[in-house]
């Protein structure tokens, strides 16, 4: 077999959804229209920039202006059009009644998501390949820093893929047309914001230049890439989870990815600390990690309690392995265990890293001392447990109704809002100024600041978190018992 035919034979192993989507896109009006429109606009912009500068009496390199113009068009295409097309492509599977047929084939949800994502990537590549000529021309016009192009293009490609992944994941959240329209509006707003932000960053970098060797630039780029990969990855996993049948295990993948995000966040905090110095990264990033884990756990703790008939049959027969698997398996109480595990991991990391500095060390964050930082983070963890575990314990979903899960989620959000507002309203009615001005334990932001300043005792919050955890214990015990009693693999 010749090398060429070997390469051609690889086509057999391409993701079927990728092949189908690219075929459809290349024949469809949407891609053709957007592609043609973008190229025509780019040409107009390019010609306008050149002609505009040709009139100048004093010649200046027009490369930066030219690059900014065509780059803006490329950004609109790969960050605006392509993610929106990906959203519609996934939605079409539900609207055209083709999704069931896909599920019944040998394709798994991750193959479907990956195929759609790769198809978005191929379409983006088509745009990049055409815009390559414009970029080369901009470089020939002079004044363009090659580093910007070499760094900017891959970053743009990654952001485009990440946003396409977000669009695909978002598209799986609603199958009814009305809900999809709402999601489309949200996505459109996010894409417009992303396009404007990206164009502004690129324009600033092109006009002023940037030095990739600077640690601040590296930190900024790494932050952007980590955020893109985290969001893209998260929505990819959400999409895979939503495409799975509701009786199948929709939770474990998300829990694993959520925990991975937490670990990546901690690793990133460590890298930023060692790269840039400044202990604030060891406080701020773990705080963000706690918030991310808490937001994800809203979905986990509100899941209905039963393992489900199909999940039961996938459990290993080894009891020790089952015990290890408990926090990763579907079910609200097991979601509570996951959150506790994630928070313990984050706190453990912070205690280990900051504890090594000694009790009197300074974190460098507005003069925050290590003990104050540890106390503040413990308080954040406590609020995380209070807001999620208390409502889910009171309104847990033991029925098979999905509406019950929605109720738990609403109650979690309501507990935050009510905790914030009710004491303030009472304070306002009783003319108690501190309460009225949100200076109470129901306001986690105020408590956090007070703890950092050393003006308040955080122990009541910790005790309340312990109470929320205690309320969960019967559920947790039942959920562990269920895993041990499940029939397992047959």
Partner 1 sequence: MTTTERTDHALCVKNVTKRFGDFTAVDRVSFDVFPGQVCGFIGPNGAGKTTTMRIASTLDMPDEGEVFVCGSSVLVDPRAVRRQLGFMPDAYGAYPDTTVEEYLDFFARAYSLRGKARKKALDHVTDFTGLAPLGGKLIDGLSKGMRQRLCLAKTLLHDPGFLILDEPAAGLDPRARVELRELVRALADMGKGVLISSHILSELSSLVDSISVIESGRIQGAGTVEEILNQLRPHMRVYLRCLAETDLVERALLELPGVSGVHHEKSGLAFDFDGDQQAIAKLVAKLVADGLSPIEFAPESVDLEDVFLSLTEGVVQ
C-beta closer to partner 1: residue 275 or 400 = 400
Q: Which residues pair with 369 in a beta bridge?
A: 362
101 binds partner 1 (CB under 8 A): yes
Q: Which is nearer to partner 1, 17 or 82 (CB)?
A: 17
Q: Residues 401, 413, 434, 437: which binds partner 1 (CB under 8 A)?
A: 401
Question: Count of residues binding partner 1 (CB under 8 A)?
Answer: 33
- How does DSSP classify residue 210? -
177 belongs to the binding site for partner 1 (CB under 8 A): no
Q: Does 217 bind partner 1 (CB under 8 A)?
A: no
Residue 107 is a binding residue for partner 1 (CB under 8 A): yes
How far out from the chain centre does Cα 446 lie?
27
Phi and psi for 346 in degrees, rounded to 5?
Answer: -65, -50
In sequence order, the β-bridge partners of residue 362 are 369
List 4, 5, 27, 56, residue binding partner 1 (CB under 8 A): 27
Provide the minimum distance between the beta carbon of 155 and partner 1 in the complex, in angstroms, as a whole number. 32
Task: Determine the interface stretch with partner 1 among 21-29, 162-170, 225-233, 298-306 (rule: CB under 8 A).
Answer: 21-29
- Is there binding between residue 490 and partner 1 (CB under 8 A)? yes
Taking a C-beta distance cutoff of 8 angstroms, is the pair 479, 473 a contact?
no
Instruction: Please state the closest distance from residue 490 (CB atom) to partner 1, in A.
Output: 6
Q: Which residues contact 485 (CB under 8 A, 6 or more apart)?
A: none
Select from 481, 476, 488, 482 the least CA-distant residue to 332: 476
| 488 is a site residue for partner 1 (CB under 8 A) | no
Residue 92 or 429: which CB sits closer to partner 1?
A: 92
Among 177, 245, 319, 398, binds partner 1 (CB under 8 A): 245
Other CB atoms within 10 Å distance of the CB of residue 407: 16
Instruction: Tokens for 454, please give them.
Output: 């050393």
List C-alpha distances in Å: 125 to 113, 130, 132, 155. 18, 9, 10, 13
Q: How far apart are CA 30 and CA 118, in angstroms?
A: 18
Query: Does 6 contact partner 1 by CB under 8 A?
Result: no
Q: How far is the CB of 172 from partner 1 (least distance, A)?
A: 17
Nearest distance from residue 8's CB to partner 1, in Å? 11
Q: Distances from the Cα of 228 to the Cαs of 123, 162, 198, 406, in angstroms?
A: 19, 6, 12, 28
Planar angle of CA 223, 225, 230, nearest 5 degrees:
95
CB of 315 to partner 1, least distance (A): 12
Question: Under rule CB under 8 A, which residues in 281-320 are in contact with partner 1?
Answer: 308-310, 313
Binding positions for partner 1, rule: CB under 8 A: 9, 12-13, 16-17, 19-20, 23-24, 27-28, 92, 96-98, 100-107, 245, 247, 308-310, 313, 400-401, 487, 490
């Amino acid at each position: 077999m010749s090398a060429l035919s070997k390469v051609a034979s690889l086509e057999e192993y391409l993701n079927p959804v990728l092949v189908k989507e690219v075929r459809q896109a290349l024949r469809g009006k949407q891609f053709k229209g957007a592609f043609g429109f973008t190229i025509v606009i780019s040409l107009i912009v390019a010609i306008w920039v050149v002609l505009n500068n040709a009139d100048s009496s004093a010649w200046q390199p027009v490369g930066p202006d030219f690059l900014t113009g065509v780059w803006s068009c490329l950004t609109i295409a790969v960050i605006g059009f392509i993610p929106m097309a990906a959203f519609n492509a996934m939605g079409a599977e539900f609207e055209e009644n083709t999704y069931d047929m896909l599920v019944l084939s040998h394709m798994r949800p991750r193959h479907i998501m990956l195929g759609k994502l790769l198809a978005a990537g191929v379409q983006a590549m088509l745009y990049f390949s055409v815009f390559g000529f414009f970029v080369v021309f901009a470089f020939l016009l002079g004044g363009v820093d090659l580093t910007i192009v070499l760094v900017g293009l891959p970053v743009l490609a990654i952001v485009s893929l990440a946003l396409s992944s977000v669009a695909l994941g978002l598209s799986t959240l609603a199958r009814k047309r009305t809900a999809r329209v709402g999601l489309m509006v949200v996505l459109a707003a996010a894409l417009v914001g992303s396009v404007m932000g990206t164009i502004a960053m690129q324009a600033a970098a092109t006009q002023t230049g940037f030095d990739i060797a600077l640690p601040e630039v590296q930190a900024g780029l790494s932050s952007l890439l980590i955020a893109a990969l985290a969001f893209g990855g998260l929505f990819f996993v959400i999409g895979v989870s939503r495409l799975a049948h509701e009786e199948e295990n929709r939770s474990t993948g998300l829990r694993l990815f959520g925990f991975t995000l937490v670990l990546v966040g901690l690793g990133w905090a460590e890298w930023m600390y060692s790269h840039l110095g400044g202990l604030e990264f060891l406080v701020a990033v773990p705080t963000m990690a706690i918030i991310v884990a808490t937001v994800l756990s809203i979905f986990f703790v509100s899941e209905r309690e039963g393992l489900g008939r199909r999940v039961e049959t996938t459990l290993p027969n080894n009891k020790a392995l089952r015990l290890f698997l408990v926090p990763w398996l579907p079910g609200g109480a097991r979601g509570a265990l996951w959150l506790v595990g994630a928070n313990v991991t984050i706190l453990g990391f912070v205690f280990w890293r900051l504890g090594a500095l000694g009790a009197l060390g300074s974190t460098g964050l507005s003069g925050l001392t290590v003990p104050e930082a540890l106390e503040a983070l413990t308080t954040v963890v406590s609020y995380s447990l209070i807001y999620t575990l208390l409502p889910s314990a009171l309104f847990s979903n033991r029925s098979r109704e999905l509406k019950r899960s929605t109720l738990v989620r609403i109650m979690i959000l309501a507990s935050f809002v009510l905790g914030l507002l009710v004491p303030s309203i009472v304070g306002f009615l009783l003319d108690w100024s501190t309460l009225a001005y949100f200076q109470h334990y129901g306001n986690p932001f105020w408590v956090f600041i007070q703890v950092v300043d050393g003006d308040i005792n955080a122990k009541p919050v910790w005790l309340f978190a312990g109470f929320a955890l205690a309320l969960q214990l019967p559920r947790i015990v039942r959920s562990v018992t269920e895993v041990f009693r499940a029939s397992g693999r047959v």
